[in-house]
Amino acid sequence: MRRAIIVILAVVSVAAVSGSKWQGCATIQGAWFDNYGYVWSLMQESDGTVWGDVDTDCGTYSVHGFFDDGDFDLLAEKNGPPPGCNDWFEYWGNIEDPACDRGSGGWDSSDGDHGRFSWNKSQCDKPSAEQTNSMGWGTFYPWRTAHDFYQTLTPLGFNFGGRLVTEADAGGGSDGCHFPESEFPPWTSIRQPYPSWFVGTDNRWGPDQIGWHEDAVDYYKIERPERGLPMPCGNQLYQRMSIYCTAGWKPYRVNVLECSIGINWVTSSRDGLEVFRWWP
């Protein structure tokens, strides 16, 4: 049995934002270095309240303010500053997405001076890992044999909302379903162009849809037994995940992706989480 089928096998990935819409950078938390040589150490509460301190040539000032969807307003104050130093100064501006590691804005101070500033983080924040979660199988042809996974970036104590993540092939993939006369090319790598996803304020991104094309499933479960080839069969890919920084994409994890085909079932696996479906 042979059919004229031309299909590109791929890990199907749909760029999407966790939640209903894309948003700007979710946090200002971290250490910032401005163009005046000041070092800002900032923390942020879930309601956007910001607090911390800033080291200046006049000593350390206490900082408080707010941050919302990339915009901020911070007031630095010091009781009894040295002679010639300000009692307070204020910074306001925005953090540039999707890297969220630099920003700019304006400032004024208690002596009436004002101007512009820019700042950046010395090191771009990146996840230590991610947790993979099942969200269900595809619902329309030809991806009803592919599964949707949502991921949560960790550590959970840092908000990566507004950031951008992408996948790339890490090499070393294999396809145990392919045979020399197959109408389908071997599926041994994540195909380009590589998609990207925005991260939600809950640190989630997705869906990452992983699985065989339906026509490939139907083809291999018939053609392999007819040729005396064993079933089930499957493939294995290695997915390198990276997060965007001003300096470029920074890798943070390599995941194993596995997809199997049985006579009447399929499986999809991402980073050790395997899901099963009877098919057809």
Residue 140 sits in a domain of what CATH number? Answer: 2.60.40
- The string of pLDDT tens digits covering residues 184-227 is 999 999 989 999 999 999 999 999 999 999 999 999 999 999 99
Do 149 and 236 reside in the same domain of the chain?
Answer: yes
pLDDT, tens only, 126-139: 999 999 999 999 99
Which residues does 114 contact at the CB level (< 8 Å), separation at least 6? Answer: 106, 107, 108
pLDDT reported for residue 57: 95
Domain end: 120, 141, 172, which one? 120
185 and 244 together in one domain: yes
pLDDT computed for residue 210 by the predictor: 98
Cα–Cα distance measured from residue 117 to residue 106, given in angstroms and rounded to the nearest whole number: 6
Domain at 77, CATH number: 2.40.128.30
Decide which of 78, 96, 120 is a domain's last residue.
120
Give the pLDDT confidence score for residue 22 in this predicted structure: 60
**Rounded (5°) CA angle 255-148-196:** 65
pLDDT value of position 162:
96
Q: In this structure, are 156 and 62 located in the same domain?
A: no
Q: What is the pLDDT of residue 6?
A: 30
Query: In the chain, which stretches have pLDDT less than 70?
Result: 1-22
Q: What is the pLDDT of residues 116-128, one digit of tens each?
A: 999 999 999 999 9
| Residue 74 and residue 65 in contact, taking contact as beta carbons nearer than 8 Å | yes
What is the reported pTM? 0.89
Last residue of a domain, one of 65, 93, 120: 120
Q: Are strands 30-34 and 39-44 parallel, antiparallel or unpaired?
A: antiparallel
Q: Could you tell me the residue range of the domain that residue 76 belongs to?
A: 30-120
Give me the pLDDT at residue 18, please: 35
Residue 206 shares a structural domain with residue 269: yes
Q: Answer yes or no: do 185 and 270 share one domain.
A: yes
pLDDT for position 233: 98
